[in-house]
Amino acid sequence: AQSVDQPDAHVTLYEGASLELRCSYSYSAAPYLFWYVQYPGQSLQFLLKYITGDAVVKGTKGFEAEFRKSNSSFNLKKSPAHWSDSAKYFCALEGRGTGANTGKLTFGHGTILRVHP
Amino acid sequence: VTLLEQNPRWRLVPRGQAVNLRCILKNSQYPWMSWYQQDLQKQLQWLFTLRSPGDKEVKSLPGADYLATRVTDTELRLQVANMSQGRTLYCTCSSGQGARDTQYFGPGTRLLVL
């Protein structure tokens, strides 16, 4: 079984501050990890992914994420935050299996980020 | 660059009536196509991944029954029946067998129950 936990339903901060959105996962092997962003009324946009290698991966819109195997986390970061970053952010996991799990992303419940100007 | 088109973009569905959705792939480099549902609480759940024309799968979840069909290399369909609550259906596409390849989301079809 695989699962993703985003413990913070809401994060609020002011423009210019550093943001960090938390994500932890449960999976029996090394996972593939993704972050997506959903702006109000829109679909999901891909931000970045971790496959293997370096623990810090960089993505679009100035975001990066750090994979930490020791505590099964994949936190999303950006500094400084901008008011336009306000959206809902989803962390997702895809296992390394085949067959029935091919193409299956397991999502966390998401974190709503509000950045005040 | 638009990779996926979905239609309709929204639909009011009378309770007990089925609705048929289409997803059109605009770039053949991303042939692996999937369906996801997002419920009213914004929770996302994978439904199906279909690669080859002729592939069909069915699934019953709380609140809806689904039948997915890969019609052609560029068209994926989804029939939604017995829907009790509104939801949004997204199709996705990726280049490989799904695992580790980025999945790109279509614009979605929003379904509301009358």
> Tens digits of per-residue pLDDT, A68-117?
999 999 999 999 999 999 999 999 999 766 555 567 899 999 999 999 99
**What are B9-22's pLDDT values in tens digits?**
999 999 989 999 99
Instruction: Spell out which residues of chain B touch residue A36, defining contact as CB-CB under 8 Å.
Output: 105
Which residues make Cβ contacts (< 8 Å) with residue B46, sequence separation at least 6?
A: A103, A104, A105, A106, B34, B35, B36
Decide if B79 contacts B49 (C-beta within 8 A). no
Distance CA A108, CA A103 (A): 16
CA distance A66 to chain B (A): 17
pLDDT value at position B97? Answer: 58
**What are B23-56's pLDDT values in tens digits?**
999 999 999 999 999 999 999 999 999 999 999 9
- Token look-up 């593939």 returns A32
Closest chain B residue to A44, measured at CA: B105
Interchain CB distance below 8 Å, B90 and A107: no
CB environment A5-35: b (16+ within 10 A), e (fewer): ebeeeebebeeeeebebbbbbebeeebbbbb
Decide if A81 contacts A19 (C-beta within 8 A). yes
**Conformational region of residue B16, where left means phi above 0, alpha means psi within -120 to 50, and beta covers everything else:** left
Cβ-nearest to A105 among B32, B46, B108: B46
Largest pairwise CA distance in chain A: 47
Closest chain B residue to A88, measured at CA: B42
- Token look-up 């929204």 returns B10
